Amino acid sequence: MLREFSYLAPLEKKDFLFMLKKHAGKARILAGGTDLMCDLRSGLEKPGWLIDVKHIKDFQRISFSESEGLSIGATVTCIEMMKNPTIAKKYPLIGYAAGHIGSPQLRNRATIGGNLCTASPCADMGCSTLALGASVELISADGTRVIPMKEFFTGVKETLLKENEAVQRIIIPPDAIGAKWGMEKLKRIKGHDMAVVSVAMVKTRKCLRVGIGSCAPTPVVLPDLPAGATAKTVVAEALKVVKPIDDVRASREFRLFMVGEFIEKLLATLD
């Protein structure tokens, strides 16, 4: 059963930041709500205030420039990323990853900001944005700061976000424009399901980046590797950073095996 809370729905960013500062530590942000509503019903979350940011235009934008790259507002939904022509042309991995989150109904609600802030180890937007070398811009009443995505996740469902901060946008650099890419996601069933193991790979002219999900307390990314790195080298680097566990979905050994399989498969398609 839901506990009682106050609902706030600011239309302007300045009003939202005022509310977030005033209720810091006692408020939760509602974007898509696909994870938050479940936590509210189960009692895992018991906020005094719920701040709905879906109607703030600054958080809804997708923009692109040759100098900065791609900017995706925090409340942009999966379906919007899947249908955006700029993403499809220049950063297709983002649209592909968004298309593997949940069901069609969920993708019409789920947002990139919400998926990343939930900070699940199996977050599909996590391993894909890591492979693209993305950064996240955080905003508060005190100003903004930009953090590399590889530093944003700190633990299972934990991030560097402070109580008075929110994600404003995700920034994907121009070096990933038109890069070769691939993503593999192992699920227990066909259709919508969480990843048992996921690997996203981006190969630019200068380097190879590999993001891995469901194999550590957070989504992880390997150090940038030479574009011509062999599968043996990439797998060896992956084994240094992944720390899979045994759970009801898969064993540690199976996850390690599938990481190697996916890396070899993806490298073969990128050559």
What average pLDDT score do residues 78-95 get?
97
- pLDDT, one tens digit per residue, over 118-128 is 999 988 899 99
Mean of the per-residue pLDDT values for the chain? 93
- pLDDT, position 190: 63
At residue 62 the predicted structure's pLDDT band, cuts being 50, 70 and 90, is: very high
- pLDDT, position 114: 93
- pLDDT, position 43: 86
Number of other CB atoms surrounding residue 126 within 10 Å: 31
Q: Does the residue 202 lie in any domain?
A: yes
- pLDDT, position 185: 92
Q: Does the residue 243 lie in any domain?
A: yes
What average pLDDT score do residues 106-118 get?
93
Dig out the tokens for 119 from the structure: 């900070």
- pLDDT, position 249: 83
How far apart CA 239 and CA 241 sit, in angstroms, is 6
- pLDDT, one tens digit per residue, over 181-226 is 999 999 766 656 678 899 999 999 899 999 999 999 999 999 999 9
- pLDDT, position 15: 97
- pLDDT, position 38: 84
Domain count, the chain: 3
Residue 150: closest CA among 170, 166, 129: 129
Burial of 189 (0-12, 13-18, 19+ CB in 10 A): exposed
- pLDDT, position 250: 87
- pLDDT, position 248: 84
Q: What is the domain-level CATH number for residue 89? A: 3.30.465.10
Same domain membership, residue 186 and residue 153: no
At residue 42 the predicted structure's pLDDT band, cuts being 50, 70 and 90, is: confident
Segments forming the whole domain that contains residue 209: 179-270
At residue 101 the predicted structure's pLDDT band, cuts being 50, 70 and 90, is: confident
Residue 23 pLDDT greater than 70, yes or no: yes
- pLDDT, position 191: 57
SS (H, E, C) the chain: CCCCCEEECCCCHHHHHHHHHHCCCCEEEECCCCCHHHHHHHCCCCCCEEEECCCCHHHCCEEEECCCEEEEECCCEHHHHHHCHHHHHHCHHHHHHHCCCCCHHHHCCCEHHHHHHHCCCCCHHHHHHHHCCCEEEEEECCEEEEEEHHHHEEECCEECCCCCCEEEEEEECHHHCCCEEEEEEECCCCCCCCCCEEEEEEECCCEEEEEEECCCCCCEECCCEECCCCHHHHHHHHHHHCCCCCCCCCCHHHHHHHHHHHHHHHHHHHC
Q: What is the domain-level CATH number for residue 187? A: 3.30.390.50
pTM of the model: 0.94
- pLDDT, position 189: 64
Cα dihedral 98, 217, 159, 170 in deg (nearest 10): -30
How far apart CA 219 and CA 222 sit, in angstroms, is 10
- pLDDT, position 95: 96
What is the percent of the chain where pLDDT is above 90? 81
Show which of 133, 150, 175 is a domain's final residue.
175
Show which of 127, 150, 175 is a domain's final residue.
175
- pLDDT, one tens digit per residue, over 164-174 is 999 999 999 99
Same domain membership, residue 163 and residue 128: yes
Long-range contacts of 146-153 (CB under 8 A, 24+ apart): 146/171, 149/116, 149/221, 150/221, 152/116, 153/119, 153/126, 153/218, 153/219
Same domain membership, residue 67 and residue 33: no
Residue 64 pLDDT greater than 60, yes or no: yes
Q: Does the residue 1 lie in any domain?
A: no
Q: What is the domain-level CATH number for residue 48? A: 3.30.43.10
